[in-house]
Chains A and B, each alone.
Chain A
Amino acid sequence: MRTFKAFTYAAATSFAALVAAAPASAVEIEYWQYIFDARITAMDVLIDNFQKANPDITVKQSTFPYADYRTKVAAAIPAGEGPDVVQLFYGWLNDYVQADLIQPLPAANFPADKIEAEFFPMVRAMKIDGNYMALPTAVRSLALFYNKRMFAEAGLTAPPANLDELVEMAAKMTTKDGAGNITAEGLTSGMTAQDHHWWREVVLRQFGGAPYSDDNKTVTYNSEGGVKALQFYADLEAKHGVTKSTFMDEPQAAFKAGRAGMHIDGSFRIGALKDTRGLDWGVAELPAGPDGTKSNYASYWVNAITTKAQGEKYDASVKFMEYITSDEAMQIWLDTVGELPAKPSAAMTDANLADPVFGPFVAGLGYANTTVFVDESGQRQVLVDAISRMMLEGQSAADSLAAAATAEQVILDGYYKK
């Protein structure tokens, strides 16, 4: 009995000490993102580091399935619940601002000229009325993955430098069976995957076209360059026969299975390929256009402070935002998730540029463009249908592209006329 009493006493004292040890002004803020394992791990590391540096602030991370994410955010914040700092896709920014879900970053801590000097230029899309609303930790770009074994078998030594070489090399790696069916393709293709980005921001520009007007409100690809670019893309399958869009169900599946020589995809694919046994792959910058033009497509997820964060929670959120947009956080993100730092100072380091996997992606960021989507899946569908009309219904590139431009303009008008 005596020992029990002593134990209770000891327990009570140590508990009191524990409570006392926590600073009186402890603030807890909440961070929300959707479920993507590597990102959750990376954020856990960042939160850990942040809490060590700021013992009076705790950050609670909550995650939700992608399908519910938008609804949850929309319902929680106006009710005064939910996140203080929230992650969102860059294409959703206007929706979040119009719905009054996020507030501008304080200019004192995030001066516009400093952001513009430090971050990649594509981040400027986050500026509304002179204020930055949100900032990314990481960005993603495209590169060409290639199968080293298939390259060696075809006697190829280096990845293609331009589009002509791309077609030529793809032809050398394509194999067909007796009935003429492709059994291994030189290049993967599929507008439903990443190819719509590659076409819109890379191929189109390389043939002298431009996807949208400067204010992003008008479709401008229905031009001579646009028709040439679409014809080039369709010819890969229809004329050169080096690819088949439905081959192995998905482009990435074909490449992963070792049945495709080359594959254009985003930096987020690195993780999945790393774990594939028996696949010997390399990464190269996207091939240059006929006149040597280089281009790339970059996209990113940003973090923003919600309108729910007020008072001391707001101050804590600002501190947290400062940390997760720092060079240190960006390097942690790169090492954990494989997504690239959003600042040239953190991305374009000699170590990153020399990295055989990250190097080509990082180099691509230097000349990347970002599409300001209003409805990404809808705008993707327009290009998917454009190529389907050519392949399945025999429409000409010019007619198909004209129809696509009209359809996409309807989507843009529907959004901007509000």
Chain B
Amino acid sequence: MSLYRNLSIRQKQVVWAWGFLALPIVFYCVIRFYPTFNAIVLSFQSWNLLGPREWVGLDNYAKLWDDPVFWKAFRNTFMYLILGTPISLVISFVIAYHLDKTKLLHGTLRALYFLPFLTSTVAMAWVWRWFYQPVPIGLFNNFLASMGIAQIDFLNSTSNALPSILLPAIWAGLGFQIIIFMAGLRAIPTSYYEAARIDGVSTWTILWEITLPLLKPTIVFLVVFSSIGFLRIFDQVFNMTTNNPGGPLDSTKPLVLMIYQTAFSSFDMGYAAAQTVVLFAILLVVSLIQLRVLREKP
């Protein structure tokens, strides 16, 4: 105690600062870094949750390389990303751009667009799953049947299932993206627009030369945010295909779902850890690239 009493005020401040900082640091080490490190170690081992862990070297990674399901899941994950991110950004920008100009019922409309984002993903996935069912219960197919059109296999099809699952995922994320875009639009000084109008520039040029360039930080933030979201997609896929998770024929299976199944229904923890390390590496690389783009000044 006397040790503490002999410290100067400045030193005491440092001690207190570290005292408070220690808590989140300990928390982070125990809850985040330790399991992460452990998962990396586990990816070189074989473990079924019950017995002892055994070292197997690079076996899990070799198995991964040769596993056609992994490559399919890998491809699916990027399909979710490549389709999901641009489509959702374009739609949300168009909506935000026009919503920004709307005075009538502005608040109500904004709230309506934001609502899906507040809904539980699981509940939403099950409602959409019901929409997609074949006759006699599915909403869409009942409508088609009443028009005399043959029903569409939305989920039970290797080509339709992935877009069908992606659609509600995009829809659910729109609200958030619209709000961020609107904030970005509001942040652009009106003087630029006034100057452009005095010069008699067309609306298209204003959008292309003023609005979009000045929205760059917003766009980059949303790209990073939604990319990570689509790379980690799980809830929608799992809940809409619980009978045959990631099916049919693995056509909708993303990496996260494959990891979950390997770990908790096949109890092959080492192999699941190897998949996790690969996913971690992908997320890291994608984020680093995007952050680099963010840092470049316009």
- A residues with a Cβ closer than 8 A to B are 67, 70-71, 73-74, 95-96, 98-101, 177-183, 190, 192-193, 244-250, 259, 375, 377-378, 381, 384-385, 388-389, 392-393
Closest to B144 in A: A179
Contact stretch, chosen from B18-26, B102-110, B112-120, B132-140: B132-140
User: Nearest chain-B residue to A376 (Cβ)?
Assistant: B265
Cβ–Cβ < 8 Å partners of A179 in chain B: 135, 144-145, 148-151
How far apart are the CA atoms of A44 and B79 in the complex, in Å?
51
With both beta carbons as reference points, the residue of chain B lying nearest to A387 in the complex is identified as B248
Q: How far is the CB of B108 from chain A (nearest CB, A)?
A: 35
Contacts of B145 in A (CB 8 A): 177-179, 181
Q: How distant is the Cα of A259 from the Cα of B136 in the complex, in angstroms?
A: 10
Q: What's the least CB distance linking B60 to chain A, in Å? A: 12
CB of B287 within 8 Å of the partner chain: no
- What are 30 residue pairs bridging A and B, where the CB atoms are less than 8 Å apart in the complex? A70-B267, A74-B49, A95-B50, A95-B51, A96-B50, A99-B48, A99-B50, A100-B51, A179-B145, A179-B151, A180-B150, A181-B134, A181-B136, A181-B151, A183-B135, A245-B156, A246-B155, A248-B136, A249-B137, A249-B243, A377-B265, A377-B266, A378-B265, A385-B249, A388-B244, A388-B247, A389-B249, A392-B156, A392-B157, A393-B249
**Chain B positions within 8 Å of A381 at CB level:** 244
**Distance (Å) between the CB of B235 and the closest chain A CB?**
16
Task: Compute how far the CA of A378 lies from the CA of B69 in the bound complex, rounded to whole angstroms.
Answer: 12
Residues in A with CB closer than 8 Å to B250 are: 385
Which residues of B are found within 8 Å of A70, using beta-carbon distances?
49-50, 267
A249 touches B249 (CB 8 A): no
How long is the Cα–Cα vector from A54 to B270 in the complex, in angstroms? 45
Chain B residue nearest to A385 (CB atoms) is B249
Say yes or no: B243 contacts A95, CB within 8 Å.
Answer: no
Chain B nearest CB from A96 CB (Å) reads 7
Residues of B within 8 A of A95 (CB): 48, 50-51, 267
- Chain A residue contacts of B153, Cβ below 8 A: 246
Q: A98 to B261, Cβ gap below 8 A?
A: no
| B50 lies within 8 A of A244 (CB) | no
Q: Distance in Å from the Cβ of B177 to the closest Cβ of chain A?
A: 31
Q: How far is the CA of A95 from the CA of B155 in the complex (A)?
A: 36
| Nearest B residue (CB) for A384 | B244
10 nearest A-B residue pairs (beta carbon): A99-B50, A181-B135, A99-B51, A377-B265, A192-B243, A74-B50, A388-B248, A246-B156, A388-B249, A192-B244
Closest B residue, CB atoms, query A73 = B50
Q: Are B133 and A249 in contact (CB under 8 A)?
A: yes
Contacts of A74 in B (CB 8 A): 49-50
Which residues of chain A come closer than 8 Å to B135, judged between CB atoms? Answer: 177, 179, 181-183
How would residues 144 to 178 of chain B score, 1 for a CB under 8 Å from any chain A CB and 0 otherwise?
A: 11001111010111100000000000000000000
* Contact residues in B for A193 (Cβ distance below 8 Å): 243
Question: Quick one: given A71-B49, A183-B136, are A392 and B129 in contact (CB under 8 Å)?
Answer: no
Contacts of A192 in B (CB 8 A): 243-244
**Contact present for A178 and B148 (CB under 8 Å):** yes
B contact residues around A177 at 8 Å (CB): 135-136, 145
The reply on B192 being an interface residue by CB < 8 A is no
Set of chain B residues within 8 Å of A101, measured between Cβ atoms:
50
Query: In the assembled complex, which residues on chain A have CB atoms less than 8 Å from the CB atom of B247?
Result: 384-385, 388
Most buried by A among B51, B141, B149, B250: B51
The chain B residue sitting closest to A251, CB to CB, is B243
- Most A CB within 10 A of own CB, among B148, B156, B244: B244
Which residue in chain A gives the minimum CB-CB distance to B150? A179
At the interface, yes or no: B71 with Cβ under 8 Å from chain A? Answer: no
CA distance A177 to B136 in the complex (A): 9
Given contacts A74-B49, A95-B50, A181-B151, contact A244 B134 (CB under 8 A): yes
Q: Whole-angstrom distance between the alpha carbons of A375 and B268 in the complex?
A: 10
Q: Determine whether B264 belongs to the interface, using a CB cutoff of 8 Å to chain A.
A: yes
A70-B49, A250-B243, A384-B247 known; A392+B158 contact, CB < 8 A: yes
User: Bound state CA distance, A183 and B250, in angstroms?
Assistant: 28
Q: How far is the CA of A388 from the CA of B145 in the complex (A)?
A: 24
Closest CB in chain A relative to B52 CB, distance in Å: 8
Interface set, chain B 202-242, CB cutoff 8 A to A: none
